[in-house]
Structure 1
Amino acid sequence: MNAAIRQYLVITGNYWAFTLTDGALRMLVVLHFHELGYSPLEIALLFIFYEFFGVVTNLVGGYLGARMGLNRTMNIGLFLQIIALGMLAVPAAALTVPWVMAAQALSGIAKDLNKMSAKSGIKLLVPGSQQGKLYKWVALLTGSKNTLKGVGFFLGGALLMLAGFRGAVMIMGGLLLLVWVGSLILLSQELGKSKAKPKFTDILSKSRAINVLSFARMFLFGARDIWFVVALPVFLHTTFGWDFWKVGGFMAIWVIGYGAVQTVAPAFTHRSTDTMPGRGVTVFWAALLAGIPALIAVGLGTDLPAQLIVVGGLLLFGVIFAINSSLHSYLIVSLARADGVSLDVGFYYMSNAMGRLMGTLLSGWVYQAYGIEACLWVSSMLLLVAVVATAQLPLKYAAARGEGATRA
C-alpha cells in the first residue's frame, strides 16, 4: 500500500468517526429539546452558533490549513468535538440554552475544520492529470461520510432512548478520544502546508468559477436545510405520530441512501477519465432538483396519502440532491489552486455553511409560522437561484494543477 492511499485511509477514517458523532449529536439535540417542550424556532436557534461559526471557521480555517498543515487543523477539529461533547455531559439542570448554544458553536468549528481538512487533503494525494480518479476519490469520501452521518442520526435516536442524553454524549466523547489519539500518530505532518506563506487577504477567492460555484452551493444547501434540520423531524413526530426510533430511522435511511448515491455520482455525470464535466451537466442536475420540493408541496394538497407523498418525494429529492452535491464537491477540489488548496476549499465551504445557517433559521421560522408545505415551496425558490447561479459558470473548466484555477 503506497503512502498516498495510507493517508487517504487515515483522512477518511477521521472524517468517518467525526461524522458519526456529528450526526448523532444533531439528532440528540433536536429530539431531546423537542421532548422538553421547545418550539421548532427555539430548537433552530440552538444551532445558530453551530452554523455561524461554520462560516467563520471555513473562511479562517483554509488560511490556517495553508500555514499550519492540514494534519493540525484536522486534529484540532477532532479535539474540539470532544470538548463540545464533554460540555453537554453536564447535569440536566446545567443544560441552559446559552450553554447548549456555546457547545454547538464549538461543535460547528470542529466540524468545519475537519471537513475542510479532509476535502483539501484529497487533492494533494491525486495527480492533477487524473481527474477521473480525483472525482471518484472525492465522491467516495463525501458519500461514505454522509452514509455514516445517516447512521449517526439513527444512533442518536437509539442512544437517547437507551442511555439518555447525558449517557449518549459521554459514550461518543470517549470513542472520539481514541480516534484523536490514533490520528495524532498516523496523519502526515506536512499535509497541505503551503510552500509560500499566504497572506490573510488570500482567504477571499480570486477565481470567478470558484465564486460562482460557492454562491450556487450556498442556495443549494439552504434549500435542503430549510426542511431537513428542524421542520422534517418535528413534522414526522407531531403530524404522523412517529416515535423517536422511527424519526431517527427515517432520517438515517435518507442520509445513508444519499451518501450511497454520492459515491456513484461519477457514473451519472462523468464519462471521461481525464476531463472535468462542463457547465451544462452542472446546470442540468440543479434544474432537475429544483422542481421536486414544489411537487411534494402540491402533492400534500391532494387526497393522496400524505406519508407516501412526503417519504417518496424526499427519497427522490435525496437521490438528485446527492448527485448535485457530489458534483459540486468534486468541482471545488479540482478547481482549487494546488499550493494552498485549503484557501479555496475553505472559501467554498464557508458559502456552504452560510447556506446551512440560512436554511436552519428558515426551517424553524417558516415551519412554525406556515407549516411544512411552505418550507418546501421556499426550498424550490432557493434551488431556482442555485440554477441561475450555476448557469454563470464558464462553459468548460480547467483543473488547477501547479498554477491554480483558471481565472475568468
Structure 2
Amino acid sequence: MTAQTRPEGLSAYIAVTAAYWAFMLTDGALRMLVLLHFHELGFSPLTLAWLFLLYEVAGIVTNLSAGWIAARFGLTTTLYVGLFLQILALLALSRLQPEWAMALSVPFVMVVQGLSGVAKDLAKMSSKSAVKLLAPEGEGGLFRWVALLTGSKNAVKGFGFFLGAALLGLAGFHASVLGMALILAVILIAVLLFMPAGLPKGSKSAKFAHVFATDSRVNRLSLARLFLFGARDTWFVVGIPIYFHAVLSDGTPEGARRAFFLIGGFMALWIIAYGAVQALAPKLLKGARRSTEEITRLAAVWVGLLTLIPFALAGATLVGGTWLTPVLVAGLLAFGFVFAINSSVHSYLILAFTGAERVTMDVGFYYMSNAAGRLVGTLLSGLSYQAGGLPLCLATAGLMAGASFLAARRLR
C-alpha cells in the first residue's frame, strides 16, 4: 500500500488533516457542552461519567474494525463516514429536551455520544494512517509529520473545549449543536467535492482476522497507551472540571456563566499547550538524531516522570489551603507537558513499528487500546471523585501512570 506521487500525496494529506481539524473542533466543543450542560441540570459526577462511557466503548469497537474497513474500502471512505456520523450525532442531540426524565435523557445521550465516538475514531484512524503512507523519507521525517498532525489536532480540540463552554453561555445548548452540525456538513461537502488523489484505495484481500497485532512491540505499546490515557482521563473528564466549577461558581446564573468560561478556558489552554508540545517533541527530544531504539527507551523515562506529578498533586489537595487552586493549575500544566512528550513518542513508535501493508490494522488496534484507556479513565474519574473527592481522583491517576511505566519498560 503506497502513496502516489509526492505532490498528490501531500495534497491528500493536507485535505485529510484539514477535515480532521474541523471534526476535532466539534468533538472538543461537544464534550464541554454535554459535561457543563448536564452538570447544571444537577447530574452527579458518576452520572456525568456514564454519559461518556458508550463514547469510549464505541471507540474500542470502532478502532478494532476501522483498520480492516480502511484496508478493505480505502482511507477516504472511513473519513467521509466519520464526518457524516458526527453530523447525525449533533442533529440527534439537538432534539434533547430539558424536561425529559433522567431515565430517558441519560440513555439517549449515551447512545448519541456512542455514535460520536464511532465517528471520531473513523476520522482519527484515517488521518493517522495517512501519515505513515505519505510522510517524506529521511531523518526524522515520520516523527515530524506525526508530531505535527497530532499536536495541531489537539490544539484545535483545545480551542473546541473553549468554544463549547462559550457557546453554552452565549447561545445555549440546542443552538450550539445545530450550528456545529451545519458547519461540519459544509466541510463534508467540500471534502467530497475536492479531495485530491494520493491516498490508496481498498483491497479485497484484507481479512478481518488481520486486525489483531502480531508484533509484541505493538501489543506492549498498546498496553502502555491504555494506561497512559487512563491516567489523564481519570482527572480530566469529570474530577477537575467539577472541582473547578465548585470553586469558581457562586451559585447564581451569572456565576455559572463565568465559571463556564473559566473552566472552558483552562481546559482549552491545557489541550492547546499539550498539542503545541506534541508538535515540538521531535525538536525537544532531538528526534532526527535518535534511532527508533533510543526513542523507545525514552518512552519509559518520560512516563516514569509523569507518574510523580498526580501523586504530588494528591498530597497537595490533602494539605489544602488558599493556594491549592493555583498549585493544581500549575501542576496539571506540568502534567500536560510530560504527557504530551509521552503521547508524541507513542504516536511515532506505533508507525515506526508497523509496515505499510499493515498500517491501518496496527493503528486501529493501537487506538483501540487508546479508547480502552479513556473508557477506564472516564469511569474511574466519576467513581474516584464521588468516593474520595479530588485527592482520590488524582492518586488513582498516579496509579494508572505507574502501570503505563511498567508496560513501557518492557518495550526495551
Determine if the TM-score, normalized by the shorter chain, exceeds 0.5: yes
d(CA) in 1 for partners of 2:135, 2:334: 32
Match of 1:30 in 2: 35
Match of 1:295 in 2: 312
Contact 1:122 1:138 (C-alpha < 8 Å) held by counterparts: yes
Alignment partner of 1:239: what SS? Answer: helix
Match of 1:139 in 2: 147
d(CA) in 2 for partners of 1:184, 1:254: 33
Contact 2:56 2:114 (C-alpha < 8 Å) held by counterparts: yes
- Quick check: 1:205 aligned with 2:210? no
The aligned amino acid for 1:108 is: G
Q: How high is the TM-score relative to the length of structure 1?
A: 0.93
Offset at 1:240? 3.9
Counterparts in 2 of 1:248-287, with a 5 A limit?
248-272=264-288, 275-276=291-292, 277-287=294-304
Alignment partner of 2:407: what SS? Answer: helix
Match of 1:125 in 2: 134
Offset at 1:98? 1.6
d(CA) in 1 for partners of 2:288, 2:168: 46
Offset at 1:8? 1.6
Match of 1:184 in 2: 192
Alpha-carbon deviations, 1:57-90, whole Å to 9, x = none?
Answer: 0000111011100100011000000000000111
Q: From 169, 172, 188, give the equivalent of 2:177.
A: 169
Q: From 19, 22, 26, give the equivalent of 1:21.
A: 26
Alignment partner of 2:374: what SS? Answer: helix
Tell me which protein shows more helix as a share of its residues.
2
Match of 2:108 in 1: 99
Offset at 1:42? 0.4
Gaps of 5+ in 2: 1-5, 250-257
Alignment partner of 2:288: what SS? Answer: coil
Match of 2:56 in 1: 51
Match of 1:381 in 2: 399
Alpha-carbon deviations, 1:227-246, whole Å to 9, x = none?
Answer: 10011111100134361111
Alignment partner of 2:43: what SS? Answer: coil
- Quick check: 1:319 aligned with 2:319? no
d(CA) in 1 for partners of 2:297, 2:285: 10
Q: How high is the TM-score relative to the length of structure 2?
A: 0.92
Contact 2:23 2:184 (C-alpha < 8 Å) held by counterparts: yes
Contact 1:131 1:275 (C-alpha < 8 Å) held by counterparts: no
Offset at 1:163? 1.0
Contact 1:147 1:257 (C-alpha < 8 Å) held by counterparts: yes
- Quick check: 1:64 aligned with 2:81? no
d(CA) in 2 for partners of 1:208, 1:196: 27
Alpha-carbon deviations, 1:313-344, whole Å to 9, x = none?
Answer: 00100111011101101111222221141100
d(CA) in 2 for partners of 1:6, 1:143: 19
- Quick check: 1:310 aligned with 2:341? no
Q: From 345, 348, 357, give the equivalent of 2:375.
A: 357
d(CA) in 2 for partners of 1:289, 1:271: 20
User: Which segment is superposed worse, 298-307 or 334-343?
Assistant: 298-307
Q: From 367, 378, 389, give the equivalent of 2:385.
A: 367
- Quick check: 1:246 aligned with 2:262? yes
* 1:366/1:15 CA distance change after superposition, 3 Å: same
* 1:90/1:303 CA distance change after superposition, 3 Å: closer
d(CA) in 1 for partners of 2:230, 2:24: 20
Cα-Cα RMSD: 1.7
Offset at 1:287? 0.7
Alignment partner of 1:278: what SS? Answer: helix
- Quick check: 1:116 aligned with 2:125? yes
Q: From 10, 15, 19, give the equivalent of 1:5.
A: 10
Offset at 1:188? 4.8
